[in-house]
Chains A and B, each alone.
Chain A
Amino acid sequence: MTEILVVTSGKGGVGKTTTSASIACGLARRGKKVAVIDFDVGLRNLDLIMGCERRVVYDFVNVTHGEASLKQALIKDKRFDTLFVLAASQTRDKDALTKEGVEKVLKDLADDGFDYVVCDSPAGIEKGAFLAMYFADQAIVVVNPEVSSVRDSDRILGLLDSKTRRAENGETLKANLLLTRYNPERVDGGEMLSIKDVEEVLGLKTIGVIPESGDVLNASNKGEPVILDMESNAGLAYDDAVARLLGEDKPMRFTTFEKKGFFSKLFGG
């Protein structure tokens, strides 16, 4: 059985592509056969985050239009034998993707024995975002602990509940929250929404909390998904999220702030 995951958020810039790349790598590292697909037609970026931008020959739209085979368009990852990237088209035609075209590609991936297909959704609630979520079995809603991101996530949750194939068939689609850019110190100071706050407002459970970290930018600079950096808290937090996705029970890490002692407070730290 192939499990189709959508990584979505509504709001842009919250870490969908970073999350898609890391989740896909994490699953592949655990031996799963994974395809990660960029649905952001016109604004291709997953290839950069995955570090395979110079190896894109054919893209998603080429496949749905029959200009290339799926096999030709899938870019094999250099680090994991079971990981493949399908790049978005850089065409300006937003209608280049169709429901039927996407369905065909997903079916071919299932026939090819893929365990997971990770769909990296574009921001917004337009066609690309709709197609990325339509066939999903499970959703990862990426959210920053910040008002506009939380509100947009709720909007996306409404669409996941109504505009997906599972919803139309009366089946449930499991949605998980993944908090990114979490800053325990600011949460401790009452300046940032806590995990519990976001869970309460959205009525969903969290599958991972990624601490705010400079390692994320360093990782994207290098084209190496941050989950591969096992010395980084953000990388470890992503690996925990992948473990939870696979059913493991792991406590959250890097989510509490160690208060400074009296003296360091008094004299500045």
Chain B
Amino acid sequence: MGLFDFLKTKKNTASIAKERLRIIVAQERSHRGAPDYLPLLQRELLEVIRKYVSIDVDAVKVDLVKDGEHDVLDISVALPDERASAA
């Protein structure tokens, strides 16, 4: 502590912490209660689809969504556009 110390502005690391926590907590909560087989299912689906179409690792998304009384297994696959796959 000394002369003119008060002029320094400290970086607000607490707000960085809060923002990071907000994101990771929301992400982890969305997976909470989901069955353990989802990651494996996602990987196997990816392998099967890859036999026919060349797709990215993150092109397959598997989620369990609540729809009223029912649980819906929501699988979405992003296919590459025509020109890219024509090669």
Contact = CB atoms under 8 A, between A and B. Distances in A.
Given A162-B33, A190-B15, A269-B1, A154 B10 contact: no
B28 to A, nearest CB: 7
B5 interface: yes
Contacts of B11: 190
A192 B21 CA distance: 13
Nearest to A262: B6
Contacts of B2: 267-268
A201 B14 contact: no
B84 interface: no
Contacts of B29: 154, 158
Interface string B24-59: 110011001100000000000000000000000000
Contact of A265 (B6, B14, B24, B32): B6
Interface in A215-263: none
A191 B14 contact: yes
Contacts of B32: 158, 162
A155 B28 contact: yes
B12 interface: yes
Contacts of B3: 266-268
Contacts of B18: 193, 197, 200-201
Contacts, number: 59
B66 to A, nearest CB: 14
Interface string B65-85: 000000000000000000000
B64 to A, nearest CB: 14
A266 B5 CA distance: 7
A147 B12 CA distance: 14
B30 to A, nearest CB: 11
Contacts of A268: 1-3, 5
B34 to A, nearest CB: 11
Contacts of A193: 14, 17-18, 21
A190 B13 contact: yes
B5 A189 contact: no
Given A158-B32, A268-B5, A189 B21 contact: no
A151 B21 contact: yes
A187 interface: yes
Contact of B5 (A154, A191, A265): A265
A7 interface: no
Interface of B: 1-6, 10-15, 17-18, 20-22, 24-25, 28-29, 32-33
Given A187-B14, A193-B14, A267-B3, 14 more contacts: A147-B21, A151-B21, A151-B25, A155-B28, A162-B32, A162-B33, A190-B12, A190-B13, A191-B10, A194-B14, A200-B18, A201-B22, A202-B25, A265-B5
Instruction: Kindly list the 9 A-B residue pairs having the minimum CB-CB distance in the complex, ordered from nearest.
Output: A190-B12, A268-B1, A265-B6, A158-B32, A197-B18, A201-B21, A154-B25, A190-B14, A268-B2
